[in-house]
Amino acid sequence: MSHPLIEEIEAHADPDRAEGQASYHKFPRRYLGVPNPILNDLTKTWRQQMSVEDRVAAADALWRTDVYEARVAAAKLLTQARIRPDREVWKLLVSWVPDFDSWAIADHACMAMQKRLVADPARLDEVETWTTSEHMWTRRAALVSTLPWTKQNHPKPAELVARDRILGWAAGYVEDRDWFMQKAVAWWLRELSKHDADRTRAFLERHGDAMKPFARKEAGRHL
């Protein structure tokens, strides 16, 4: 049986666009061709209408369809700075990590995780366990979900400790030759360089030679 929220998404389907999406993302799943701004509008309305409990249930149902737009919408449904209580939200987001198989869906889910990690930094302990996963997308999620720690201009002592901790994870990734992993390290460092150039330079001086040339260049783009 089709979920009512899927039917709302399907109402905006564009078969020609869907064909282009399938070709671009190169992963075999159903694509509807619904543009991101429409998904933003739909999920904003749903967030306003639903309790946290209902949002978790709806996001779970959307994710399980494995339809591209449904998974993106599931993540957007849970992307909000203030969600109380958020224990079940975090639990659901974590349950999705082993399913990650493409950058776009993973990044939308990681944006939702960023909000929950900022709300409760103790969750970094769980994220750290991802860094040794055999699943590349799980390892990558440890960096993408922690991007907020690159952005503080005047970090508090605990935020600096977390920043250095995550840089330690990134250092453990530099020998990983997977393009997506190299890109993730570069992304984290590039964002950090806008707010903490000294730490970025120190990382590149110590580990830059082990990074792929494109990643090292990207990491230092703003230095």
- Return the CATH number at 100: 1.25.10.90
In a domain, 127, yes or no: no
CATH of the domain at 208: 1.25.40.290
Contact criterion met (CB below 8 Å) for 5 and 34? no
Where does the pLDDT of residue 1 fall: very low under 50, low under 70, confident under 90, or very high at 90 and above?
very low
Where does the pLDDT of residue 2 fall: very low under 50, low under 70, confident under 90, or very high at 90 and above?
low
27 shares a domain with 81: yes
In a domain, 195, yes or no: yes
- Number of folded domains in the chain? 2
Q: How far apart are CA 103 and CA 91, in angstroms?
A: 21
In a domain, 125, yes or no: no
Helix axes 103-119, 68-77, angle to 10 degrees: 10
Beta strands per DSSP E along 7-124: none
Average pLDDT over residues 52-68: 95
83 shares a domain with 13: yes
Give residue 98's pLDDT: 97
What one-letter code names the amino acid at 145?
Answer: S
214 shares a domain with 142: yes
Where does the pLDDT of residue 4 fall: very low under 50, low under 70, confident under 90, or very high at 90 and above?
confident
Domain that holds residue 157: 133-223
80 shares a domain with 29: yes
